[in-house]
Amino acid sequence: MEPTNQTSASQFILLGLSEKLEQETFLFTLFFCMYPVTVVGNLLIILVISIDSHLYTPMYFFLANLSLVDFCLATNTIPKMLVSLQTGSRAISYPCCLIQMYFFHFFGIVDSVLIAVMAYNRFVAICHPLHYAKIMSPRLCGLLVGAPWVFSCFISLTHILLMARLVFCGSHEVPHYFCDLTPILRLSCTDASVNRIFILIVAGMVIATPFVCILSSYARILEAIMKVPSAGGRKKAFSTCSSHLSVVALFYGTTIGVYLCPSSVRTAVKEKASAVMYTAVTPMLNPFIYSLRNRDLKGALRKLVNRKIASSS
């Protein structure tokens, strides 16, 4: 290939969720409504947990970190998409594309591991209540939260370094609404087999492994719930677990479909639909799923609101 045809891309064109102009107004309105809900919901949880000393427990420590990650994950992709829908400018420079890609995988990996950590915390609380304080020590909680952040930093950086060595030629149009690994790799005119192998290895570690751990934890939790003598207690516990598992299925089902399923069964439309689930829908739902059924969190929120009303009057 001649040097004039084999160059590093200066920019990519993000084609967005839909190339049909008549759908752009609907998409802009939809995500313009979803994003503030995501921001307010997650930041409110962080605020309430940080100012109420009664919530200084492992469960709320993990929840505050999950809310922070969900906020960052949505902020990394949705505002850029909204600007593109509003202005019609779909171009993104190559360095900005790599930066967006880095933070998407950084927060995505932390999100996946934290959901598994929260499932483990729930397993210990329900199946080993007498040993909970000893098992979930401050040191272990710090390790369970800190390790994913450090691990994700190195994994995401490796993704970017492997991506930076590739050369892109021909079309620079990306059939996606943000810079993700798999659609960008399809544009490479150099061998990207190392990148694809690394994606599979990482997906196995940060998607498949946490998913299996979550299923194992909830299997033990459900087994313990079945031993509860009260029918009302069992019903309430089943209701809570089912709502948590619905979000787990939504998050891991879509990520497994994108990063672990064979390319022959994936299409650009399926990848974009799946990406909406784990970059927009689950970050928006998590504050409701993990807080609406939580009396302590709702009580702390009411106290915060009453305090603000009292101070302003």
Mean pLDDT of the chain: 87
**Is 4 inside a domain boundary?**
no
pLDDT at 2 over 60: no
pLDDT of residue 4: 40
**Is 303 inside a domain boundary?**
no
Could you list the residue range(s) of the whole structural domain that residue 194 is in? 11-296
List CB contacts of 150: < 8 A, sequence separation 6 or more: none
**β-bridge partners, 168:** 7, 188
pLDDT at 174 over 70: yes
If one counts the domains in the chain, the total is 1
Can you state the angle between helices 282-291 and 295-312, rounded to 10 degrees?
A: 90
pLDDT of residue 3: 43
* Tens digit of each residue's pLDDT (9 = 90 or more) over 240-272: 777 778 888 889 999 998 898 887 777 888 889
pLDDT of residue 158: 96
List CB contacts of 156: < 8 A, sequence separation 6 or more: 102, 103, 105, 106, 109
**Is 307 inside a domain boundary?**
no
Strands of 173-174's sheet, edge to edge? 91-93, 11-14, 173-174
Residue with the bigger pLDDT between 194 and 2: it is 194
pLDDT bracket for residue 313 (50, 70, 90): low
* Tens digit of each residue's pLDDT (9 = 90 or more) over 204-245: 999 999 999 999 999 998 888 887 777 776 776 777 777 778
Residue 184: give its domain's CATH number: 1.20.1070.10
309 in Cβ contact with 274 (< 8 Å)? no
